[in-house]
Structure 1
Amino acid sequence: MPSNARRRWAGLVFISVAVALIIVDSTIVNVAIPAMVEDLGITSSQVQWVQEAYTLVFAALLLVFGSLADRWGRRRMLLTGVVVFTVASVGAALAPTGEILIAARLVQGVGGAMMLPTTLSLLNATFRGRERAIAFAVWGSTIGGMAAVGPLLGGWLTTAFSWHWAFLVNVPLGIAIVIGVLLTVDESRGAAEPVDVIGAVLSVVAVGSLVFGLIEGRTYGWIVTDRPLEIGGWTWPWQISPVAIAFVIAAAGIAGFIAWGIHRRRTGRSTVIAFGLFRIPSFRNGNIAAMVVSLGEFGLILALPLWLQFVLGFEAVQTGLILLALAIGSFAASGIAGALSGRVAPVAIVRVGIVAEIVGVAAVGFVIAPDASWVPLVPALFVYGFGVGLATAQLTGVVLVDVPTAESGQASGTQSTARQLGAALGIAVLGTILFTTTAADLSSRLDERGVPADQRDQVVSAVVDSAGGAIAGLAESPQTADLADDAKAAFSDGTKYASFAAAGFLILGLFATFSLGAGTRAPEPDPAEASEQV
């Protein structure tokens, strides 16, 4: 193999490690969260925000950094992101409170947003033809596999050491990535055009407001204020809920972003999203499918570790071992997908993968019960992971197959944003389903027992606000042992409904793929957007 080829494939290894770092961190925390709840005393809303702070900023900034990387230098952006991410990981590991932990996760999201679209655009610029298809398959399989390896690694680190190591493990990996990328990856750039600052701000406002509303609706009220929002010494003074206002802001931000982008395109100026790319059927339809599928895929990973540990009583490392079935399924699928490359249409592989995901997630929902065994859960998770491995890698190739190389940064940023926005919405929506259903179910069960209203509300609040962490305390006392059984049953029902909701979103994603494959030839480039790779 020529030295240039060896260097290219070595670069793919380090780029894949960078992708693994990002994805593992988005899932490794799930298994460690119960330990954080006990150590830092964080609430269920903060539990969601520990996850969402990362995913929210990640999704909101992907477009911005994908566009900037084309101008500033893709390798430079990747390396900067790795440094930011690693430093923020140290801050998260040393966080003494839930608030500081969430702040560190926000900064991690900034670093991750610098890294992910850049990894994909570097591959798009480095590889051609069949090599590019293989590189995309490795990239996509890394995402699918690492999403499942994260819980195992987090479980082992949390059990053997402490939850702090779920973040500190990023430090040696970050150092290795920086050295490896400097040695094996060449710099590449796109067109050096001015940055669309207004478009970037509008995209951040729209995504941030939408996810805030979905997470905090059950806390502050969807329309009317149930509990006043407090920031520092300031208290929300109006009867209309801040969540309702957030949704209005999100709608206005989305409309403004689209209108502003179209205006800039018509005047021949650069935009955060290359709107002309949406005239490519594979790009347009693939992004829609990717967003909906991600909504169903990653939301479930929030609920399962909480249920496994707080209801079934598994330790963090045991939880990680159970979820390892996801990773095994995903890696098995990546090998099959590679063997089928060039023989079977990528869209067909995507559809088979999504069907497998639906079957696996639905099976998980049927297995969940307060006295469930882990044995039937493992094959269900394997099938789910197998579907993730098939769908993720091939869908990436479908989305970017016809994108001009000079616009690969914006295109990969858009594709990654679609996925991450779907993941953020999935965590928000399925997390809300989990906790809202648990609260309603537990209230009903306690009412049937004749528990006084004050005590009922106190128990429900303790279980929900602790994301299930209070169940063990209820079980320890003979006076509240029956209430603990009700709490376990209610939390199991909440997890079950979240699983079925995830399967429902995946069904929508399957329907979305029926719009793919209409054509893969890119239209003639728009003069207002055509750019020459430097």
Structure 2
Amino acid sequence: MRKWLPLTAVSLGAFMLLVDVTIVTVALPDMATDMNTGFAGLQWVMDIYALALAALLLGAGSLADRIGRRRVYLGGLAVFAAASLACGLATGPGLLIAFRAVQGIGGAAMFATTMALLSSAYQGRDRGIAFGVWGAVNGAAAAAGPIIGGLLTEHFGWRWIFFINLPACALAVWVTLKAVAESRNPHAKGLDLPGMVTFTAGAGVVTYALIRVAENGWTSAATLGLLGLGAACFAAFVLVELRTAHPMLDLSLFRSPTFVAVMAGGLLLSGAAFSYLMYVSLWLQSAEGMGPVQAGLVLVPLSLAAFLVSAVAGRLLHGAPARLSIGGGLLLIGAGALLQAWMLDAGDGWTALVPGLVLTGVGVGMATPPLAAAAMGTVAPARAGMAGGALNTARQLGNALGIAVLGALFQAGLTSGLAGSGQPHGTAEALASGGAGRFLAAGPQAREWVEAAFASGLRDTFVASGVMGLVGALVVVLLIRPARGTGASVPAQAKGSTGSTTERASA
């Protein structure tokens, strides 16, 4: 069993960093009450972690290739553990958000190196087994996040969703030092710091602008100015990448319509399938009176369906064109969100969401595996690591931007649902911040307008998510084309290089 210790070390890190994307979801109402934070603060607690992952994945992979993957992985574990401790001890929302950003930096260092470490540790059949287990762990992390978060929050307090990382990190560090050998790329190039800075600035400014939309308005000078600044940062990123000798992201990859479609598909998949779960959790706990564990269980159908379908999709969809499997998955994701919008009315409970959550999960499981294969199949083997890293970046960025956009729509929907209820200004903000309980405690007459407000807000987020899914499906179907002389939707060279390139998807 000693030969599987490197797999254990890598899987522990991957599980922790991916669980922390979703584990916070069910703890948000308790955080809001304990730290007296508003809706924007809750959004940032979720968003800043995904932003840090998105912004630093490619750069962390390049650094690991240059100075050593084990070294960067261990450094990521140390940063992640220290930041987790700081998050659990945070005394205010500002500190919590800042430490969540640091936690995301550690997560990026871990995520960018896991597959490369496995690739160097195993060969042949063992390598296939290792990557199969690693993929299963990734899927299990998404399913386990809300449940683990609910159990810890309900029985020990929300701070334990961060403290639990400490023993896991300690174990991962010990196993890594004991069993994982160092590896690096002898041909690694320099680190693209200007690219990292401009991309991070652009993503951060745009996300900030979208989170502030509920307060500033879509057409305000502040919103338009921030979006313009974000666009300028992204333009600077493009110029940097075009002129540097060793770009973090080779923009020539975007000459391929298939690569463009895959990046757009990854971004829209995350935004459509996962970004609204934060607002569903707020509704379940603050308006429906559920505890964190119950709220976590409501979200399990999506994660479980995605896990099960992705496990069998490779066999059932083997040889199917990528444009159909990815596009079909995105179509189901969009349909699942629209089904939730159609079924949820004021006064309905959590059961109205289950069919749509299952349909969305099926779509996620159907689209995710071929997304990675298509991303790397469009490039030469030497660029596979960059392509895989770009896809992971797009997915994390899609989650971050999706939370921001849907948050603005959710709060606007709450305000619309309160029309005619006679409630004072600021009620929508209070509901969005998890404060429905105190209104409901005032008397049974509040139940009607609270439920109407949440139904309106959630329907708006579901409709927007549905549109994102459908747009993603359309982009994929229109842009991904079969290679000449093959029935597949990726170049023929991918068939001969899939095994090796997949192993470096996050390197």
- TM-score normalized by structure 1? 0.83
Post-superposition shift, 1:436? 1.7
Q: Return the alpha-carbon distance in structure 1 between the equivalents of residues 228 and 390 of structure 2.
A: 23
Of 56-65 and 337-346, the range deviating more from structure 2: 337-346
Q: 2:427 is matched with which residue?
A: 459
Task: Answer whether contact 1:370 1:489 (CA < 8 A) is retained.
Answer: yes
Q: 1:286 is matched with which residue?
A: 262
Q: Return the alpha-carbon distance in structure 2 between the equivalents of residues 177 and 367 of structure 1.
A: 44
Write the mapping of 1:375-394 to structure 2, written as runs, cut at 5 A.
Answer: 375-394=351-370
Q: 1:526 is matched with which residue?
A: none
Assess, with a 3 A threshold, how the Cα gap between structure 1 residues 188 and 332 changes in structure 2: closer, same or farther. Answer: same
1:62 correspondence with 2:25: no
Q: 1:499 is matched with which residue?
A: 462
1:171 correspondence with 2:166: yes
Task: Answer whether contact 1:70 1:410 (CA < 8 A) is retained.
Answer: no
Three-state SS of the structure 2 residue aligned to 1:507 is: helix
CA offsets 1:93-145 (integer angstroms, 9 cap, x no match) = 11111111111111111111212222244456667899877766655554444
Three-state SS of the structure 1 residue aligned to 2:24 is: helix
Q: 2:410 is matched with which residue?
A: 434
Post-superposition shift, 1:300? 1.5
Q: 1:52 is matched with which residue?
A: 47
C-alpha RMSD over aligned residues: 2.8
Assess, with a 3 A threshold, how the Cα gap between structure 1 residues 189 and 278 changes in structure 2: closer, same or farther. Answer: farther
Q: Return the alpha-carbon distance in structure 2 between the equivalents of residues 249 and 171 of structure 1.
A: 38
Write the mapping of 1:399-410 to structure 2, written as runs, cut at 5 A.
Answer: 399-401=375-377, 403-404=379-380, 406-410=382-386
Q: 1:474 is matched with which residue?
A: 439
Q: Return the alpha-carbon distance in structure 1 between the equivalents of residues 230 and 214 of structure 2.
A: 18
Q: Return the alpha-carbon distance in structure 2 between the equivalents of residues 187 and 143 of structure 1.
A: 23
Post-superposition shift, 1:392? 1.7
Q: 1:511 is matched with which residue?
A: 474
1:246 correspondence with 2:223: no
Pick from 287, 290, 293 the counterpart of residue 317 of structure 1.
293
Q: Return the alpha-carbon distance in structure 2 between the equivalents of residues 82 and 32 of structure 1.
A: 23
Task: Answer whether contact 2:39 2:429 (CA < 8 A) is retained.
Answer: no
Post-superposition shift, 1:420? 0.9
Post-superposition shift, 1:473? 0.9
Q: 2:501 is matched with which residue?
A: none
Task: Answer whether contact 2:411 2:429 (CA < 8 A) is retained.
Answer: no
Of 142-151 and 205-214, the range deviating more from structure 2: 142-151
Pick from 187, 192, 195 the counterpart of residue 191 of structure 2.
195
Q: Return the alpha-carbon distance in structure 2 between the equivalents of residues 394 and 136 of structure 1.
A: 15
Task: Answer whether contact 2:329 2:363 (CA < 8 A) is retained.
Answer: yes
Assess, with a 3 A threshold, how the Cα gap between structure 1 residues 340 and 108 changes in structure 2: closer, same or farther. Answer: same
Task: Answer whether contact 2:317 2:325 (CA < 8 A) is retained.
Answer: no
- TM-score normalized by structure 2? 0.87
Task: Answer whether contact 1:463 1:470 (CA < 8 A) is retained.
Answer: yes
Post-superposition shift, 1:332? 1.4
Q: Return the alpha-carbon distance in structure 2 between the equivalents of residues 376 and 88 of structure 1.
A: 38
Three-state SS of the structure 1 residue aligned to 2:424 is: helix
Residues paired across the two proteins, number: 487
Assess, with a 3 A threshold, how the Cα gap between structure 1 residues 327 and 221 changes in structure 2: closer, same or farther. Answer: closer
CA offsets 1:328-369 (integer angstroms, 9 cap, x no match) = 212211321243364545554333433332333222223323
Task: Answer whether contact 1:66 1:412 (CA < 8 A) is retained.
Answer: no
Q: Return the alpha-carbon distance in structure 1 between the equivalents of residues 429 and 348 of structure 2.
A: 25
Write the mapping of 1:250-269 to structure 2, written as runs, cut at 5 A.
Answer: 250-264=230-244, 269=245
Q: Return the alpha-carbon distance in structure 2 between the equivalents of residues 173 and 405 of structure 1.
A: 34
CA offsets 1:228-248 (integer angstroms, 9 cap, x no match) = xxxxxxxxxxxx42x332211
Q: 1:234 is matched with which residue?
A: none
What amino acid maps onto 1:208 in structure 2? G
Q: Return the alpha-carbon distance in structure 2 between the equivalents of residues 399 and 153 of structure 1.
A: 32
Q: 2:486 is matched with which residue?
A: none
Task: Answer whether contact 2:206 2:227 (CA < 8 A) is retained.
Answer: yes
Post-superposition shift, 1:498? 0.5
Q: 2:200 is matched with which residue?
A: 204
Q: Return the alpha-carbon distance in structure 2 between the equivalents of residues 285 and 125 of structure 1.
A: 30
CA offsets 1:301-329 (integer angstroms, 9 cap, x no match) = 21111111122211111111121222321
Three-state SS of the structure 2 residue aligned to 1:202 is: helix
Post-superposition shift, 1:285? 3.1
Q: Return the alpha-carbon distance in structure 1 between the equivalents of residues 482 and 134 of structure 2.
A: 25
What amino acid maps onto 2:207 in structure 1? V
Write the mapping of 1:25-424 to structure 2, written as runs, cut at 5 A.
Answer: 25-123=20-118, 139=134, 142-190=137-185, 191-224=187-220, 240-241=221-222, 243-264=223-244, 269-279=245-255, 282-340=258-316, 342-401=318-377, 403-404=379-380, 406-424=382-400
What amino acid maps onto 2:304 in structure 1? I
Task: Answer whether contact 1:346 1:394 (CA < 8 A) is retained.
Answer: yes
Task: Answer whether contact 1:347 1:398 (CA < 8 A) is retained.
Answer: no
Task: Answer whether contact 1:337 1:349 (CA < 8 A) is retained.
Answer: no
Post-superposition shift, 1:394? 2.5
What amino acid maps onto 1:510 in structure 2? A
Of 175-184 and 40-49, the range deviating more from structure 2: 175-184
Assess, with a 3 A threshold, how the Cα gap between structure 1 residues 104 and 386 changes in structure 2: closer, same or farther. Answer: same
Task: Answer whether contact 2:337 2:356 (CA < 8 A) is retained.
Answer: yes
Task: Answer whether contact 1:60 1:203 (CA < 8 A) is retained.
Answer: yes
Task: Answer whether contact 1:295 1:426 (CA < 8 A) is retained.
Answer: yes
What amino acid maps onto 2:449 in structure 1? D
Post-superposition shift, 1:155? 0.8
Q: Return the alpha-carbon distance in structure 1 between the equivalents of residues 193 and 426 of structure 2.
A: 47
Assess, with a 3 A threshold, how the Cα gap between structure 1 residues 458 and 436 changes in structure 2: closer, same or farther. Answer: closer
What amino acid maps onto 2:365 in structure 1? G
Assess, with a 3 A threshold, how the Cα gap between structure 1 residues 375 and 284 changes in structure 2: closer, same or farther. Answer: closer
Gaps of 5+ in 2: 484-490, 495-503
Q: 2:487 is matched with which residue?
A: none
Assess, with a 3 A threshold, how the Cα gap between structure 1 residues 457 and 208 changes in structure 2: closer, same or farther. Answer: same
1:19 correspondence with 2:5: no
1:486 correspondence with 2:449: yes
Task: Answer whether contact 2:143 2:307 (CA < 8 A) is retained.
Answer: no
Three-state SS of the structure 2 residue aligned to 1:272 is: coil
Gaps of 5+ in 1: 225-239, 524-532
Q: 2:498 is matched with which residue?
A: none
Q: Return the alpha-carbon distance in structure 1 between the equivalents of residues 377 and 171 of structure 2.
A: 30
Q: Return the alpha-carbon distance in structure 2 between the equivalents of residues 460 and 483 of structure 1.
A: 14
Post-superposition shift, 1:427? 0.8
Of 301-310 and 117-126, the range deviating more from structure 2: 117-126
Assess, with a 3 A threshold, how the Cα gap between structure 1 residues 506 and 127 changes in structure 2: closer, same or farther. Answer: farther
